[in-house]
Protein backbone atom coordinates (compact mmCIF):
# COMPACT_ATOMS: atom_id res chain seq x y z
CA UNK A 1 0.00 0.00 0.00
CA UNK A 2 1.47 3.36 -0.96
CA UNK A 3 -0.02 6.58 0.28
CA UNK A 4 0.59 9.97 -1.25
CA UNK A 5 1.80 11.59 1.96
CA UNK A 6 4.43 9.00 2.80
CA UNK A 7 5.73 5.99 0.87
CA UNK A 8 5.48 2.74 2.76
CA UNK A 9 8.80 0.89 3.03
CA UNK A 10 7.01 -2.44 2.87
CA UNK A 11 5.77 -1.60 -0.61
CA UNK A 12 3.33 -4.37 -1.38
CA UNK A 13 0.73 -5.75 0.96
CA UNK A 14 1.40 -9.46 1.04
CA UNK A 15 -1.52 -11.74 0.33
CA UNK A 16 -2.61 -14.72 2.34
CA UNK A 17 -3.65 -17.75 0.34
CA UNK A 18 -5.42 -21.06 0.80
CA UNK A 19 -8.21 -19.81 3.08
CA UNK A 20 -8.53 -21.55 6.41
CA UNK A 21 -7.23 -24.83 5.06
CA UNK A 22 -4.84 -26.85 7.17
CA UNK A 23 -1.39 -26.63 5.66
CA UNK A 24 0.97 -29.55 5.48
CA UNK A 25 4.05 -28.75 7.56
CA UNK A 26 2.59 -25.61 9.12
CA UNK A 27 1.11 -25.49 12.57
CA UNK A 28 -0.66 -23.10 14.86
CA UNK A 29 1.53 -20.38 16.34
CA UNK A 30 3.04 -21.73 19.59
CA UNK A 31 1.41 -19.98 22.55
CA UNK A 32 1.73 -20.08 26.31
CA UNK A 33 -1.24 -20.28 28.69
CA UNK A 34 -1.90 -16.54 28.26
CA UNK A 35 -2.11 -16.87 24.47
CA UNK A 36 1.21 -15.14 23.83
CA UNK A 37 3.67 -16.59 21.32
CA UNK A 38 6.34 -18.21 23.47
CA UNK A 39 8.92 -19.47 20.96
CA UNK A 40 10.13 -18.85 17.42
CA UNK A 41 8.44 -21.10 14.87
CA UNK A 42 7.08 -21.32 11.37
CA UNK A 43 3.33 -21.12 11.73
CA UNK A 44 0.21 -21.19 9.62
CA UNK A 45 -0.39 -17.58 8.52
CA UNK A 46 -4.04 -17.99 9.50
CA UNK A 47 -3.07 -18.58 13.14
CA UNK A 48 -1.67 -15.09 13.78
CA UNK A 49 -3.62 -12.50 15.72
CA UNK A 50 -3.36 -9.01 17.20
CA UNK A 51 -0.31 -8.68 19.42
CA UNK A 52 1.74 -11.32 17.59
CA UNK A 53 5.21 -10.53 16.28
CA UNK A 54 6.77 -12.00 13.17
CA UNK A 55 9.47 -11.56 10.58
CA UNK A 56 8.75 -10.29 7.10
CA UNK A 57 7.21 -13.12 5.04
CA UNK A 58 8.10 -11.41 1.75
CA UNK A 59 5.78 -10.56 -1.11
CA UNK A 60 3.23 -12.72 -2.86
CA UNK A 61 1.02 -15.48 -1.55
CA UNK A 62 1.81 -16.27 2.06
CA UNK A 63 0.63 -19.37 3.88
CA UNK A 64 3.38 -19.60 6.52
CA UNK A 65 5.02 -16.95 8.68
CA UNK A 66 7.98 -16.89 11.03
CA UNK A 67 6.52 -15.95 14.43
CA UNK A 68 8.67 -14.89 17.38
CA UNK A 69 8.02 -13.77 20.94
CA UNK A 70 7.71 -9.96 20.90
CA UNK A 71 10.50 -9.82 23.50
CA UNK A 72 12.89 -11.00 20.76
CA UNK A 73 13.94 -8.95 17.71
CA UNK A 74 11.23 -9.00 15.01
CA UNK A 75 10.29 -7.02 11.90
CA UNK A 76 6.51 -6.84 12.17
CA UNK A 77 3.79 -6.72 14.82
CA UNK A 78 0.09 -7.34 14.23
CA UNK A 79 -1.61 -4.19 15.54
CA UNK A 80 -5.12 -4.72 14.13
CA UNK A 81 -7.23 -7.21 12.24
CA UNK A 82 -10.64 -6.95 10.69
CA UNK A 83 -13.00 -8.97 8.54
CA UNK A 84 -14.26 -7.68 5.23
CA UNK A 85 -18.04 -7.85 5.13
CA UNK A 86 -18.45 -7.43 1.36
CA UNK A 87 -19.97 -10.35 -0.54
CA UNK A 88 -17.67 -9.94 -3.54
CA UNK A 89 -13.88 -9.82 -3.63
CA UNK A 90 -12.67 -6.23 -4.23
CA UNK A 91 -12.39 -5.77 -7.99
CA UNK A 92 -8.85 -4.28 -7.98
CA UNK A 93 -5.72 -4.28 -5.84
CA UNK A 94 -6.26 -0.55 -5.31
CA UNK A 95 -9.77 -1.24 -3.98
CA UNK A 96 -8.39 -3.78 -1.50
CA UNK A 97 -5.65 -1.36 -0.46
CA UNK A 98 -8.17 1.46 0.04
CA UNK A 99 -10.36 -0.77 2.19
CA UNK A 100 -7.29 -1.78 4.21
CA UNK A 101 -6.24 1.86 4.61
CA UNK A 102 -9.72 2.83 5.84
CA UNK A 103 -9.57 0.21 8.60
CA UNK A 104 -5.87 0.20 9.55
CA UNK A 105 -5.09 3.91 9.50
CA UNK A 106 -7.36 5.05 12.37
CA UNK A 107 -6.17 2.17 14.54
CA UNK A 108 -2.54 3.06 13.76
CA UNK A 109 -3.03 6.42 15.52
CA UNK A 110 -4.61 4.78 18.56
CA UNK A 111 -1.95 2.06 18.68
CA UNK A 112 1.16 4.24 18.23
CA UNK A 113 -0.01 7.49 19.80
CA UNK A 114 0.36 9.66 16.71
CA UNK A 115 -0.99 9.77 13.18
CA UNK A 116 0.59 7.78 10.38
CA UNK A 117 1.61 11.02 8.65
CA UNK A 118 3.45 12.21 11.78
CA UNK A 119 5.02 8.84 12.58
CA UNK A 120 8.34 7.39 11.50
CA UNK A 121 6.78 3.93 11.70
CA UNK A 122 5.21 2.19 8.70
CA UNK A 123 2.52 -0.38 8.18
CA UNK A 124 1.53 -3.00 5.66
CA UNK A 125 -1.00 -5.81 5.67
CA UNK A 126 -1.75 -9.44 5.01
CA UNK A 127 -4.84 -9.55 2.79
CA UNK A 128 -7.02 -12.31 1.33
CA UNK A 129 -6.37 -13.38 -2.26
CA UNK A 130 -9.13 -14.23 -4.71
CA UNK A 131 -8.40 -17.91 -4.11
CA UNK A 132 -8.54 -17.65 -0.31
CA UNK A 133 -11.64 -15.43 -0.60
CA UNK A 134 -13.41 -18.24 -2.44
CA UNK A 135 -12.59 -20.47 0.56
CA UNK A 136 -14.14 -17.96 2.99
CA UNK A 137 -11.08 -15.92 3.99
CA UNK A 138 -12.12 -12.35 4.84
CA UNK A 139 -9.51 -11.37 7.48
CA UNK A 140 -6.99 -8.58 6.93
CA UNK A 141 -4.07 -8.21 9.36
CA UNK A 142 -2.49 -4.76 9.80
CA UNK A 143 1.26 -5.04 10.50
CA UNK A 144 3.47 -2.28 11.92
CA UNK A 145 7.22 -1.95 11.38
CA UNK A 146 10.11 0.36 12.27
CA UNK A 147 11.95 0.90 8.95
CA UNK A 148 14.74 2.96 10.53
CA UNK A 149 15.82 0.19 12.88
CA UNK A 150 14.73 -2.84 10.85
CA UNK A 151 13.87 -4.95 13.88
CA UNK A 152 12.10 -4.05 17.10
CA UNK A 153 12.21 -5.66 20.50
CA UNK A 154 8.99 -5.41 22.45
CA UNK A 155 5.77 -3.88 21.24
CA UNK A 156 5.47 -0.62 19.31
CA UNK A 157 2.22 0.10 21.15
CA UNK A 158 2.14 3.61 22.66
CA UNK A 159 5.67 4.26 21.31
CA UNK A 160 4.60 7.71 20.07
CA UNK A 161 7.17 7.52 17.26
Q: What digits encode the pLDDT tens for the residues 8-63?
A: 333 334 444 334 444 445 589 999 999 999 999 999 999 999 999 999 998 888 88
Instruction: Give the separation between CA 52 and CA 6, rounded to whole angstroms.
Output: 25
Q: Quote the pLDDT of residue 58.
A: 85
Q: pTM for this one?
A: 0.83
Give 159 or 8, the one with higher predicted confidence: 159
Extract the runs of DSSP E, i.e. beta strands, from the chain.
Answer: 14-16, 41-44, 53-55, 61-62, 64-68, 76-83, 122-128, 139-145
Among 54, 78, 75, 72, smallest CA distance to 151 is for 75
Instruction: Give the separation between CA 11 and CA 32, rounded to whole angstroms.
Output: 33
Q: Where are the domains of the chain?
A: 14-145
Read off the pLDDT of residues 102-127 as tens digits, 9 standing for 90 and up: 999 999 999 999 999 999 999 999 99
Mean pLDDT of 75-84: 97
Q: Quote the pLDDT of residue 61.
A: 86
Q: Are 2 and 11 in contact (CB under 8 A)?
A: yes
Amino acid sequence: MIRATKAVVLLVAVAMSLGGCALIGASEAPRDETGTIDKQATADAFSIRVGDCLNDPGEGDVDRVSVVPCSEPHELEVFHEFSIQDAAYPNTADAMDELTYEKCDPVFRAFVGRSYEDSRLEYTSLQPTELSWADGDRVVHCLIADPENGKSTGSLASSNR
